[in-house]
Amino acid sequence: MEEAQSQARSMGLDLVEISPNADPPVVRIVDFKKFKYEEAKRERIARRNTHETETKEIWLGPLIGKHDFENRIRRAKEFLGEGDRVKLTVKFSGREMQHPEFGHKVLNNAKEVLAELAEADGEPRFLGRNLSLAFKPTKKVAK
């Protein structure tokens, strides 16, 4: 260890401990500033190449029109194509709560349309006045 330190000093470089738990410890003679810069550069590149998946929520109504439904499903397909998860939520208001089957029908239609791009996470669930169903992209679609 002392020999390595004297060698590093004579070269005008630093002695960096790579693996302290090894027997004997692994060290490297490098310019420490350059070593830290390259390490940070590797981390930046790794961060740039990763994609964090988000959950995008799309609201629907139990009595939604055909054209509105198609627009919202098209948007869901875009999100799934980017590799994000999508949560479709049917919001009930007032007397609409008397007919939850309308909400189930909307989500079943969505499940059929999105079948080629995504798979549903379980069954639709009521949370208060909202009926929700989450979709995750299939492996072949995700980037």
Q: What is the pLDDT of residues 112-134, one digit of tens each?
A: 999 999 999 989 999 999 999 99
pLDDT of the residue at 43:
92
pLDDT of the residue at 112:
94
The pTM assigned to this predicted structure is 0.64
What confidence tens digit (pLDDT) does each residue in 52-99 have? 778 999 999 999 999 999 999 999 999 999 889 999 999 999 999 999
Does the 2-49 domain belong in CATH 3.10.20.80?
A: yes
Residue 141 confidence class, pLDDT cut points 50, 70, 90: low
Domains 2-49 and 55-137 share a fold: no
pLDDT of the residue at 65:
96
Dihedral pair phi/psi, residue 95, rounded to 5°: -75, -10
What secondary structure does DSSP assign to 24-69, as a single string?
Answer: SPEEEEE-HHHHHHHHHHHHHHHHHH-----EEEEEE-TT--HHHH
Topology given in CATH for the domain delimited by 55-137:
Translation Initiation Factor IF3 (3.30.110)
Mean pLDDT of 4-29: 85
Residue ranges of the domains in the chain? Answer: 2-49, 55-137
| pLDDT at residue 1 is higher than 80 | no
- Please, what is the average pLDDT of the chain? 90
Give percent of the chain with pLDDT exceeding 70.
96
- Looking at residue 132, the DSSP 8-state letter turns out to be E
Contacts of 19 (CB under 8 A, 6+ apart): 25, 26
> Per the omega criterion (within 30 degrees of 0), is the bond before 24 cis?
yes
pLDDT of the residue at 61:
95
Angle separating helix axes 100-113 and 66-81, nearest 10 degrees: 50
pLDDT of the residue at 26:
87
Mean pLDDT of 28-57: 88
| pLDDT at residue 11 is higher than 90 | no
